[in-house]
Structure 1
């Protein structure tokens, strides 16, 4: 096994550690300020972090090959004409930069939200890249989505890789397309003194894991919404408030119509109304939506509920047989991601329900996402469990169980999962970094 040493900043519960340790890495120092995350870190890795990174003297940091961290996104005060190291003072990225400047690790790997690329009109990322170049590094960055790395979560994050100048030959970025990464690279390429290279980024071509693959088999009733709350959420799907810029109805589908064309139709539980919706175009009014048709047999719960075969008009009289030599029903149970099911009024824009088979919404520290399971138009809706959230971030079940056994509450487990970096993504990047950091 190839060996390397790394320092982990803003460590949380160690998403970087989960991947890098298996690749031959040894963490020689970790820093985390949150007391609950610190407790979890010690449970998982056997040693506490050193605490607040702002209290660390950079000269006391052990020598290391790789510096990693997902620093919080903060606006910089760029007062002068020149961007660079001095302009980052007072931010948490500066703490990462000052350690790198003093210790000169071979590689820096930083993670942040996708919005960093355009944050503060691009000044934030401009300053970060210029700073890394100033302190002796050549840089590349890209946005990777966790859904392409074996976890069914739609999670886009920017990853910045800086290689020490003596280990890499600079070359212009290969820039194609007009996405946010291409626009950011074109902008930054115009800054004087920028040193760039083209990292061998892992491919993002195929989604291999579905949300149903990571769900627990048996979930406590406390995670399920009441019948009343479930009915309200389902009713929202037939309200004009649910037809927004990303609006798609859960009930009723159109074969072969996608994207904007699909959004021009009004759905009912039995199919598609012939009337296109106005959607604010040409002065037309909002469409009239069919009256909500509530599920029949609402007294059925859990597995008893999904043992019935449903048509779009109601409930067929025949119970399906789960075994006994009889055929399975032709209508499959759906698994749909649900945005913040515990909130009647969602805080985020976009669809409340995704389509069957789509990836989970992005986990955050503030929101609790969920899942709707059932056979249309009858669903049960529940919150994802903490274990399922840990799975969506690529953590092994054993890690979650260790934290449960240590007495960490569900609310903290949700927060820890939302703040974590996806282990599978770090593994994919780390394998491509080994050539630079191992000895």
Structure 2
């Protein structure tokens, strides 16, 4: 039987076919798809942005949005096994300098910690930008670790790059996996990263008609700035870079072969060369680069509710599906191994 169907008998854990999870700071549901792909069941989500929440509902036909997690009545929150959250990277400049939990209760991470504590969550998976590692000279992460350990959790922390998990996108994120200490030491291991060569054709929308005119004033202006002018970029030459990816900014132009740079929520200056044309990355393609399955990504092409810029921004803020799936599979494997130690065999 697959590990996603495991039955386990740990202290305080009821026998069941599937683990349940709650999707906090859900965005458009990349994390949800990742956990569901590993066999877990979503029982609710929390998202405060109206447009993002509307996208989530269209993707999953699920309106169980509990809204602002800092205002949720925990008595009305259903019980669940795993907490999932891609919490926002707020300004933690004074984190660690304050004394006590209450001084920081307005920050999202501390609201999540409160939920973990009050709901006595068994496991959690948190995601944030790589910059969290060194933010405030490492004090921010140190404070978060301290608070989570203080309420009784063993932590595993690692930076993983999406490009090594089946999608051609450079995207480094820090992942924090937590296990409640009374449930034994799980000896959790993060999934191994695998170097892969990609064929961009799989991620390109053949119906994409968002072409950037080669005479575009802004694009040509950027080519002539003091940084790019040193490299003597010419539009005629760039158009010969078939299947290459271009990230053009006011500061410089960057060329990538076989993969995309990190998708962002703000400016969307990503192009790729196809048939000698400058093609703008569209929302459908951005979802594929985040590991969203085609049947969901295609929804944005069929529904007039979606605008290209909206989907690009929402995709840039999403978790990479593949990474979440692999981490969740490792979490399940760790639970399985612990159950073996308790019973001598998986279903003993």
TM-score normalised by structure 2 residue count: 0.82
String of CA shifts for 1:164-205, please: whole Å, max 9, x gaps. 001233xxxxxxxxxxxxxxxxxxxxxxxxxxx863111113
* Aligned equivalent of 2:292: 395
* Aligned equivalent of 2:227: 241
Q: Choose from 148, 155, 160 the match for 1:144.
A: 160
In the TM superposition, 1:276-287 aligns within 5 A as none
Q: Is the 8 A contact 2:28 2:318 kept in 1?
A: yes
- Tell whether 2:216 aligns with 1:216: no
Once superposed, which parts of structure 1, at least 4 consecutive aligned residues long, lie more than 6 Å away?
none
* Cα distance in 2 between the residues matched to 1:218 and 1:81: 53
* Aligned equivalent of 1:310: none
Do the aligned partners of residues 293 and 384 (structure 1) sit closer, same or farther apart at CA in structure 2, a change above 3 Å counting? closer
Q: Choose from 70, 77, 80 the match for 2:86.
A: 70
Q: CA deviation at 1:294?
A: 5.7
Q: CA deviation at 1:436?
A: 5.3
* Aligned equivalent of 2:319: 421
* Cα distance in 2 between the residues matched to 1:141 and 1:80: 22
Consecutive unaligned residues of structure 2, counting only runs of 5 or more, are 7-17, 340-348
Q: Is the 8 A contact 1:224 1:382 kept in 2?
A: yes
Q: CA deviation at 1:81?
A: 7.3
SS in 2 for 1:124: helix
* Aligned equivalent of 1:386: 283
Q: Is the 8 A contact 2:123 2:178 kept in 1?
A: yes
Q: CA deviation at 1:13?
A: 1.0
Q: CA deviation at 1:370?
A: 2.3
Q: Choose from 29, 36, 52 the match for 2:51.
A: 36
Q: Is the 8 A contact 1:389 1:414 kept in 2?
A: yes
In the TM superposition, 1:47-58 aligns within 5 A as 47-48=62-63, 49-58=65-74
SS in 2 for 1:295: helix
Q: Is the 8 A contact 2:246 2:272 kept in 1?
A: yes
Q: Is the 8 A contact 2:158 2:174 kept in 1?
A: yes
Q: CA deviation at 1:88?
A: 3.2
- Tell whether 2:194 aligns with 1:205: yes
Consecutive unaligned residues of structure 1, counting only runs of 5 or more, are 170-196, 244-286, 299-304, 307-332
Do the aligned partners of residues 90 and 206 (structure 1) sit closer, same or farther apart at CA in structure 2, a change above 3 Å counting? same
The structure number with the bigger radius of gyration is 1
TM-score normalised by structure 1 residue count: 0.66
Number of residue pairs the alignment of both structures matches: 319
Do the aligned partners of residues 225 and 28 (structure 1) sit closer, same or farther apart at CA in structure 2, a change above 3 Å counting? same
- Tell whether 2:209 aligns with 1:225: no
In the TM superposition, 1:26-175 aligns within 5 A as 26-48=41-63, 49-76=65-92, 77-78=94-95, 85-169=101-185
String of CA shifts for 1:285-309, please: whole Å, max 9, x gaps. xx7x66x66639x9xxxxxx97xxx
* Aligned equivalent of 2:261: 361
Q: CA deviation at 1:355?
A: 3.7
Q: CA deviation at 1:33?
A: 0.5
* Aligned equivalent of 1:295: 236
Q: Is the 8 A contact 1:231 1:294 kept in 2?
A: no
* Cα distance in 2 between the residues matched to 1:151 and 1:79: 36
Q: Is the 8 A contact 2:128 2:175 kept in 1?
A: yes
